Amino acid sequence: MKTMLLALIGFAMLCTSAMAAKPEHIKQLKETRQCAGCNLENADLRGFYLRGAQLQGANLRGANLRDGDLRGAFLNQANLTNADLRGANLEDADLDKAHLEGAQLKQVRFSDRTVLAEKWRLVHQLINRPREVTDLQKVDLAGANLNGADLRNANLTGANLERATLEDALITDAILDSAQLNRTSFFISDLKNASFVAANLQRSNLRATDLRNAIFQKTNLSQADLSHAYLSGIRLTESNLNAANLMRSTLTHSRIEQSQLRGSNLFMADLRDAKLIGVELTGANLRGADLSRADLAHSNFQSIQMQGLKLRGVNLRGVNLSGLNLQGIDFSGADLSHAVLNRANLSEANLKGANLTHANLTEANLTKADLSDGNLSYANLTRTNFSQANLDKVRLNGIQLEFTNFCQATMPDGRKAGC
């Protein structure tokens, strides 16, 4: 075991060393400015005088070139992925076929003679001259670092922003319909009123974003991170949120229709007054979520985690909750008419004032549940267990009774049932 541990530590050190710049290459660059093909990954080259430097094909991935003098430098085919170029002077430099994915281009100086792909000139323009260009339909910005960009009211229909970073950006009222946004990071960005119709946001990072009143239609948000996001008032229809992370997100007054949320994480999410019509929630985590006064009509809740779920005044008309563990859940004032609750565990549940007309409660467990002031008219109570339940003032017109257990239950007239 010890030998294996030492081997793993050695391998990790070797990998770290392989990713670091070679000291002799840094020295060579500083002394001669001749370092074509050198390994300068993650090197600290801040403020270096590199005018006319030969850096063709060099590995400058993650390097810090901030405020450096790179006028006339030869950087063709160099790897500048995730490099910090802020404040650098690249006038007359040759960046032909250079890799600039993730590179920071804030306050970088280019000249008309700087050899640079149009894609990166556009990124530079968007970062340094905000709102100068708003028509960005079908542009290729894949991998671009647009952190802090002002893209308000921009039309990005059909744009390719795959793996781009737009963190802490202003993107309100923007149109991102049919855009490629898979693995794109929008962390803490303002996206209020943005449109994402038919956009691909698979595995995107929307953590802590402001998406209030945004529009999602036929949008792919599978495996997206929407944790802590503000989603109040969104309209989301026919969309895919399977395995999406919505932990602690705010979805109050949102409208979600005919969408897939299989296996999604809604832990502690705020869904008060939301409408989830025809939503597929199989396998979702709803622990601690607040769905008070939400409309969940005809949604599918099979195999979900519901511990601590708040469902006060919720509309669950016609919903299938069969076999679920609903112990201790607050359903007070909820509409459960026509709901399928056979074999459900509703022990100690709060169903005070709930509407359970025409509900199927076959073999359901309502031990110690509070159903006072509720309506069970025309419900199927075959083999239902109401032992020690509170049925005070409950309406029981037209109910189906067969082998129903009322042992020590408080009946509608206030009397205690025998066993």
Mean pLDDT of 316-343: 94
Q: Give CA–CA dist 165/143, Å, rounded.
A: 7
Q: Find, among 326, 335, 279, the residue nearest to 306 by Cα.
A: 326
**DSSP label at 258?**
S
Amino acid symbol at 77: Q
The residues with which 49 forms a beta bridge, in sequence order, are 69
* For range 252-263, the mean pLDDT: 97
Give 413's contacts (C-beta < 8 A, 6+ positions apart): none
* Tokens of residue 218, six digits: 């036929």
Q: What is the pLDDT of residues 210-237, one digit of tens each?
A: 999 999 999 999 999 999 999 999 999 9
Region 41-64 average pLDDT: 97
Confidence of residue 297 (pLDDT cuts 50, 70, 90): confident
Average pLDDT over residues 117-121: 98
Give per-residue pLDDT as tens, 166-211. Answer: 999 999 999 999 999 999 999 999 999 999 999 999 999 999 999 9
What does the alpha-carbon distance between residue 54 and residue 33 come to, in Å, rounded to a whole number?
6
| Pair of tokens at residue 107 | 């306050």
Q: Which of 91, 103, 17 is nearest to 64 (CA)?
A: 103
Average pLDDT over residues 85-89: 98
Q: What is the pLDDT of residue 5?
A: 42
Please name which of 191, 121, 129 lies closest in space to residue 156, comparing C-alpha atoms: 191
Distance CA 383, CA 370 (A): 18
The residue-averaged pLDDT of 85-103 equals 98
**Chain mean pLDDT for the chain:** 94
For position 2, what pLDDT does the model report? 46
Q: What pLDDT shows up at residue 4?
A: 45
What span, in angstroms and rounded, lies between the C-alpha atoms of 316 and 362? 17
Q: ∠ at Cα 266 (263, 268), nearest 5°? A: 150
Q: Using the CB atoms, write b or e for 280-293: b if 16+ within 10 Å.
A: bbbbbbbbbbbbbb
**What is the spatial distance between Cα 8 and Cα 69, in angstroms, rounded to a whole number?**
41
Distance (Å, rounded) from C-alpha 192 to C-alpha 232? Answer: 10
User: For residue 13, is pLDDT > 70?
Assistant: no
Does residue 299 or residue 270 have the better pLDDT?
270
Paired tokens of 104: 């920071």
417 within 8 A of 408, measured Cβ to Cβ: yes
Nearest to residue 345, comparing CAs of 361, 330, 323, 368? 323
Phi–psi pair at 11, nearest 5 degrees? -65, -40
Neighbours of 138 (CB within 10 A): 12
Least confident of 210-224, 250-264, 292-306, 374-388: 292-306
Residue with the bigger pLDDT between 345 and 17: it is 345
One-letter amino acid of 396: L
Whether 370 and 353 have beta carbons less than 8 Å apart is answered as no
In terms of Cα–Cα distance, which of 124, 91, 97, 126 is closest to 110? Answer: 91
Q: Using alpha carbons, select from 273, 283, 233, 241 the residue that is nearest to residue 258.
A: 241
Average of per-residue pLDDT across 332-346: 96
pLDDT at 301: 81
Q: pLDDT confidence of 6, banded at 50, 70, 90?
A: very low
Q: How many angstroms separate the CA atoms of 296 and 288, rounded?
A: 17
Q: Coil, helix or strand for 236?
A: strand
Q: What's the pLDDT score for residue 19?
A: 60
Q: Which CATH code for domain 25-116?
A: 2.160.20.80
**What value does the mean pLDDT take over residues 388-399?**
97
pLDDT band at 9 (very low <50, low <70, confident <90, very high): very low
Confidence check: pLDDT of 373 > 80: yes
| Torsion angles phi and psi, residue 26, rounded to 5 | -65, -45
Neighbours of 218 (CB within 10 A): 15
Specify burial of residue 346 (Cβ count, 10 A radius: 0-12, 13-18, 19+).
buried
Per-residue confidence band for 15, with pLDDT thresholds at 50, 70 and 90: very low
Distance CA 120, CA 333 (A): 58
3-state secondary structure 97-124: CCECCCCECCCCECCCCCECCHHHHHHH
- Distance from chain centroid for Cα 306: 20
Spatial separation of the C-alpha atoms in residues 313 and 327, rounded to whole Å: 17
Query: pTM for the complete prediction?
Result: 0.87
Predicted confidence at residue 346, as pLDDT, reads 97
Angle at 241 between CA 151 and CA 155, to 5 degrees: 20
